[in-house]
Structures are given as C-alpha cells and as structure tokens.
Amino acid sequence: MASPLQVTNDDIKALKDYQLVNILSQLLYLELGTNQIEKYDSQVPLSIYIKDGGIDGLAKWENGPEKTAFLPSRYVGFQAKATDMSESACKSEVQTDKGLLKPQVRKVVEGGGVYVLFFGRDCVEQSKEARIKAF
C-alpha cells in the first residue's frame, strides 16, 4: 500500500490540465528556491484557457547558477499538457498554421532559452526523440 505522500505514475496520469499546471508552478518555485535563485522572473499563469503563444510557464534569471538539476538553462519556457502528446500534437504546440514558431516560443528560442514539454504521460527515449524531432 502506498503512503499518503507517495505519488505514483497513475496519480500523474490522472491529473487534469489545471492540476498539472499548478504542479508545474509549485515545482518551479521549489527548484528556484532550492538553488537560492533570488531575483528571477517566473510566471505560470494558473488560468489555462488563455492564449499563451505556446508557453504555459517561464523561468528566467540572471545571477546564480547557469542551470539546475531540473532547469537546463537560465531561460526556460514550459508547455504543460495533461493529455497524450503525439509527434503531430507536439509540432502544433510550437508552430502556427503557417509553419512559423509561435510568438512566445520564438522569444524563448531567440533569447537563447530552452523549451520544455511538461506532460503527464509515459515517455521513453524512443518516443522522446520522435517528439523532439517534431518540435
């Protein structure tokens, strides 16, 4: 029997979209605090039904570590999805109908940042590579 504080794979899969974004927000603030990153720009709007230009969350800082154990850069844009993300779904998350990068994704990439898909489904190396290629 799992303890009340133990989170299982099935628990993550059962999260609704607004719950996944809330967890992203909490994990982001914990990671920044754990690494003593004091002055940062971190945004994770908990309203998930607004146009976001391809970014659901953001972490950006100038001083402190270049990266952390869970943030691969000083500038990270996140897209949170509680659903299955096929390769074509990944592509549509970052590109417009005309094949251009969505505005906020472009801003992160052109600013030297990293784009991270934060989703609540199983993902092994083979399917991860296919999703990255779709991006």
50-61 core/surface letters (b: 16 or more CB in 10 A; e: else)? eebebbbbbbbb
Amino acid in position 110:
E
In this predicted structure, what is the pLDDT of residue 114? 94
Place of tokens 């504080």: 5
- Please report, in tens digits, the pLDDT of each residue of the chain (135 residues total): 567 778 888 888 898 988 999 999 999 999 999 999 988 777 887 776 777 777 888 999 998 999 999 999 999 999 888 888 888 888 888 888 898 999 999 999 999 999 998 888 887 778 888 888 887
In this predicted structure, what is the pLDDT of residue 44? 83
8 A C-beta contact, residue 80 and residue 37: no
Query: CA torsion angle for 85, 87, 89, 94 (degrees, to 10)?
Result: 110
